């Protein structure tokens, strides 16, 4: 089977987590750059990457790279790529997104327009036609320019991989599912440990944890753009990958995963999302103020995405909120606390310096992942 270079974008700061996931799937990582991990694989890898990777944003099939400092070089470089190997004569193709960092070419709309013209020019000669109906399957293209080096990829995913299909209802500022998964994977938590999210909102962190505990692949219940690319990925390859995902699920009922929120409406939304994800029986959601945070057991994990104060009405309440979180955490003397936030007084108000602190971009917002480590349980190395 033909091998490809596959590009997996991710949240800035989560590259190491995604790299580990790809290696655990059995593929060779060739390059790690800011916000992207590149690995080698065949059509099966393309399918499994989309279905199994929890922290990636999408899987791009790399078409090629070239240097371009002018629009003429961009046109010629794009035209030189072997588009006919991927796009049939009736294919619908367009540059869905263009990004540019430290490059002379920086206008996304101009980059998109010129590349489309170059692709048409190439395929006109190959297919001996002057006009493309574009009534067939979709072949969206994504391009990224870094220091005048152009990387071009076909988007095999479609809707971002963070859209697992279970979150029909959301909170005001929901955390993306792939970022929630990455936050959990940055901790030592596993399915036989306690996990509590005291600001659970629409339930994303507890739901992602429950899916990990039951080994439910994040892409198991959705479609991908490349499922229509029969000339690149045989239908049987997709079927085999989905069958593998179904076989790997192991039902779990004795987990201790909990989600609290002060808003009763959010708790109802979280329960419905958990039901759609097939893990509602694994999570206990409850309306509870952070001031009431407690748990009778030891050695648990608090993993949470509290309010950041991005909305003006929240700012005044943040010091008291984080102070209360710190006080309740202090009473859970053997627990660990993991907090993602852009609030700059987090450590001061929680009342303790974090053992680790990791910068992560939540979209365009710079946040920090504060990690307050508790002791390891007896008997665990």
Strands 336-341 and 365-372: antiparallel
d(CA 29, CA 12): 17
- State the average pLDDT over residues 85-108: 97
**Residue written as token pair 């349980």:** 377
Q: What percent of the chain has a predicted confidence (pLDDT) above 70?
A: 97
The pLDDT, as a whole number, for residue 309 is 78
d(CA 316, CA 231): 57
Is the pLDDT confidence value at 129 over 80? Answer: yes
If pLDDT is split at 50, 70 and 90, which confidence band does 312 have?
Answer: low
The pLDDT, as a whole number, for residue 171 is 62
**Residue 128 backbone dihedrals phi, psi, to 5 degrees:** 55, 50
The pLDDT, as a whole number, for residue 245 is 98
d(CA 235, CA 277): 25
Answer whether 282's CB lies under 8 Å from 191's CB.
Answer: no
The pLDDT, as a whole number, for residue 173 is 66
Give CA 351 to chain center in angstroms. Answer: 31
Answer whether 339's CB lies under 8 Å from 346's CB.
Answer: yes
Q: Number of helices (H) and strands (E), helices first, in the chain?
A: 11, 14
Report the DSSP beta bridge partners of residue 358.
Answer: 369
Half-sphere exposure of residue 302: CA atoms within 13 angstroms, side-chain side: 30
Q: Which of 66-75, 306-315, 369-378 has the lowest mean pLDDT?
A: 306-315
The pLDDT, as a whole number, for residue 380 is 57
The pLDDT, as a whole number, for residue 286 is 98
- State the average pLDDT over residues 223-244: 97
- State the average pLDDT over residues 310-331: 89
d(CA 335, CA 107): 49
Which of 216, 215, 210, 282 has its CA nearest to residue 253?
282
Using CA atoms of 229, 233, 235, 241 in order, give the dihedral in degrees to the nearest 10.
-130
* 74-83 tens-digit pLDDT: 999 999 999 9
Across the beta sheet with 138-146, the strand order is 29-33, 36-41, 4-9, 60-67, 149-155, 138-146, 92-101
Half-sphere exposure of residue 261: CA atoms within 13 angstroms, side-chain side: 25
Answer whether 98's CB lies under 8 Å from 195's CB.
Answer: no
d(CA 189, CA 181): 11
Within 57-176, residue ranges assigned H as helices are 71-79, 108-127
Is the pLDDT confidence value at 313 over 70? Answer: no
* 177-229 tens-digit pLDDT: 999 999 999 999 999 999 999 999 999 999 999 999 999 999 999 999 999 99
Answer whether 127's CB lies under 8 Å from 83's CB.
Answer: no
Structure tokens at 29: 């990582």
The more confidently predicted of residues 193 and 314 is 193
Report the DSSP beta bridge partners of residue 196.
Answer: 258, 302
d(CA 148, CA 318): 43
* 260-286 tens-digit pLDDT: 999 999 999 999 999 999 999 999 999
* 162-185 tens-digit pLDDT: 999 998 766 666 899 999 999 999
**Residue written as token pair 């310096």:** 353
If pLDDT is split at 50, 70 and 90, which confidence band does 303 have?
Answer: very high
Give CA 251 to chain center in angstroms. Answer: 24
What is the pTM (predicted TM-score) of this model?
A: 0.95
Q: What percent of the chain has a predicted confidence (pLDDT) above 90?
A: 92
Q: Could you give the angle at which helices 204-213 and 264-277 cross, rounded to 10 degrees? A: 30
Q: What is the mean pLDDT of the chain?
A: 95
Instruction: Using CB atoms within 10 Å of the CB of residue 317, give its burial: 0 to 12 exposed, 13 to 18 middle, 19+ buried.
Output: exposed
d(CA 365, CA 310): 10
The pLDDT, as a whole number, for residue 251 is 86
């Amino acid at each position: 089977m033909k091998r490809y270079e596959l590009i997996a974008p991710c949240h800035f700061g989560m590259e190491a987590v995604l790299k580990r996931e790809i290696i655990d799937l059995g593929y060779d990582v060739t390059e790690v750059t800011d916000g992207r991990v590149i690995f080698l694989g065949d059509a099966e890898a393309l399918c499994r990457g989309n279905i199994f990777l929890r922290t990636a944003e999408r899987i791009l099939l790399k078409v090629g790279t070239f240097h371009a400092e002018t629009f003429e070089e961009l046109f010629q470089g794009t035209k030189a790529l072997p588009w006919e190997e991927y796009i049939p004569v009736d294919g619908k193709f367009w540059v869905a997104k263009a990004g540019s960092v430290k490059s002379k070419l920086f206008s996304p709309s101009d980059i998109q327009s010129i590349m489309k013209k170059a692709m048409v020019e190439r395929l006109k000669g190959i297919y001996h036609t002057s006009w493309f109906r574009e009534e067939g399957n979709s072949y969206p293209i994504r391009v990224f320019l870094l220091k005048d080096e152009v990387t071009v990829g076909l988007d095999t995913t479609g809707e971002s991989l963070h859209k697992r299909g279970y979150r029909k209802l959301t909170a005001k500022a929901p955390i993306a599912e792939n970022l929630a998964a990455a936050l959990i994977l940055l901790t030592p938590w596993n399915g036989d440990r306690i996990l509590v999210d005291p600001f659970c909102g629409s339930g994303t962190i507890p739901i992602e944890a429950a899916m990990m505990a039951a080994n439910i692949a994040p892409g198991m219940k959705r479609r991908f753009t490349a499922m229509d690319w029969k000339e690149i990925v045989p239908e049987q390859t997709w079927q085999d990958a989905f069958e593998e995902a179904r076989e790997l699920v192991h039902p779990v009922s004795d987990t201790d995963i909990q989600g609290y929120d002060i808003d009763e409406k959010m708790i109802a939304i979280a329960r419905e999302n958990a039901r759609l994800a097939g893990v509602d029986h694994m999570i206990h959601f409850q309306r509870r103020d952070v001031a009431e945070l407690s748990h009778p057991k030891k050695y648990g994990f608090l993993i949470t995405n509290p309010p950041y104060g991005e909305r003006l009405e929240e700012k005044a309440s943040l010091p008291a909120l984080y102070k209360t979180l710190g006080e309740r955490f202090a009473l859970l003397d053997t627990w660990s606390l993991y907090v993602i936030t852009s609030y700059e007084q987090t450590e001061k108000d929680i009342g303790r310096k974090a053992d680790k602190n990791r910068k992560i971009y939540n979209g365009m917002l710079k946040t920090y992942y504060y990690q307050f480590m508790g002791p390891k349980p007896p008997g665990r190395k």
